[in-house]
Chain A
Amino acid sequence: MNQIQITIGEIVRGDREVFPPYLYDAYQSTRRRAPQLALIDVPLTLSELTGPGHAISAITAEDADLTRNAGTDGEAIGQRIILTGRVLDETGAPVPNTLLEIWQTNASGRYLHKRDQWPGPLDPNFLGMGRCLTNAEGVYRFLTIRPGAYPWKNHPNAWRPAHIHFSIFGPTLLSRVVTQMYFPDDPLHSLDPILSSLPAESARQSLIATYDHTITEPEWALGFRWDIVLRGTHATPFETPEVRS
């Protein structure tokens, strides 16, 4: 067993500035779920340089409107927002035609989920999920309502800052990422172990959207911009598969 390196509490994946450690003590759920053994360096093969991103089924424009996609003919309650941005790779090239799936609380901070039982009221006109594809320029756009903060049981008086969960595929398995987008100027950011798990201030800032008055539509909705940068295939530890004899 002497080849095994114990890496509890160390950052063990990829870019050490950007990715959180698996074990982050302040976020209690990591304690029994974080791997304890070092991740294994492997060559990049066609398996990693391909991925399902382009093969996901077609979706409709309505899927990107969370204010009206509950199928009730009613509109969700809350501050209406437009959330848009570009999906790029590390070189700044747009990532077209890739699937984004999002989920969030309603305006009161409650998820439509059986395990979310805190007494924030549910909204019958809000599912809290949506999806869209980026266009040829890598641009995505959602219409939704601003989510609320909510309490959780991680530590006494713990509250998650308002956020929207994003799942993005990109062109390969390497580009796959699931993350959370936060809103600017939220005093809960520095109290949140999940956002704080990102080691670099720049990485934490990269998850915070910007209010953009040019996106705001008069008499309609506030605009926020958030760009997403996915891992490409060039900045990887193994550029070309080589056989070690």
Chain B
Amino acid sequence: MSTLPLTGSQTVGPFFSLGLLYEEARRNVLTRPETAGEHIRIEGHIFDGDGMPVPDALIEIWQANAYGRYNHPADQSAAPLDPEFTGFGRSGTDEDGHYWFKTIKPGRVAFNAQIQQAPHICVTIFARGLLNHLVTHLYFADEPANAEDVTLLCVPEERRATLLARRADEGGTIVYSFDIVLQGTNETAFFNL
């Protein structure tokens, strides 16, 4: 099969908010009140190799619904779709490098016919200075299924903690904190995808 060469990647540069964060393009809130599942907030900061916040980054997330089904034709599982949930989010970072989402904790998605993945959220990061985007998974630190997640087990053990979002109850709101370190100490484990 002949294949065409791929179109190469380039940085989003410093001015991407013009094209990617106009009002209808921002997706901090993935949920409606009727969305099934445990409603949570995910937030964190993005840091560079000097430990400085990255104020001009873009994070996109993609996740299954509470039943463990992606809103996508390639997911043919028996789990139901949720008409109140698409699973896509997009947030910029502010001057403190802070981003946030309101979403639900996803259900488990099949890895193959025998085993399930741990609940997780796909995270894609774009920024000035990133000639390619970065890709990783967010896992939930209090989730026992992490111990058997095939993807997470590919990450060297000493780096797995960089992919675990920590749970806190902030006045009745469940918040999972997930900082992203682009470079250096506690560098986030990014995937070769």
Contacts and interface: CB of A to CB of B under 8 A. Distances in A.
A103 B193 contact: no
Interface stretch (A16-24, A76-84, A216-224): A16-24
B189 interface: yes
Interface in B21-54: 22, 24-25, 48-50, 52, 54
B154 A29 contact: no
A152 to B, nearest CB: 9
Report whether over half of chain B's contact residues are helix, strand or loop; otherwise say mixed: loop
A50 B191 contact: no
A194 B11 contact: yes
B16 A35 contact: no
B193 A173 contact: yes
Contact of B183 (A34, A38, A43): A34
Contact of A113 (B12, B18, B24): B18
B8 A241 contact: no
A172 B73 CA distance: 10
Nearest to B6: A18
A145 interface: no
Nearest to A59: B24
B8 A173 contact: no
Contact of A35 (B71, B73, B183): B183
A55 B18 contact: no
Given A43-B150, A47-B122, A178 B71 contact: no
A190 to B, nearest CB: 16
Interface of A: 1, 3-4, 12-15, 17-22, 24, 27, 29-52, 54-57, 88, 90-92, 101-103, 111-113, 115-116, 127-131, 165, 167, 171-174, 176-180, 194-195, 197-198, 202-204, 206-207, 228-231, 234-235, 237, 241-244
Given A41-B191, A48-B193, 20 more contacts: A20-B9, A30-B130, A34-B182, A35-B190, A40-B156, A45-B151, A52-B86, A55-B86, A101-B19, A102-B19, A129-B18, A129-B19, A165-B16, A178-B12, A178-B126, A180-B11, A204-B8, A206-B7, A228-B7, A242-B112
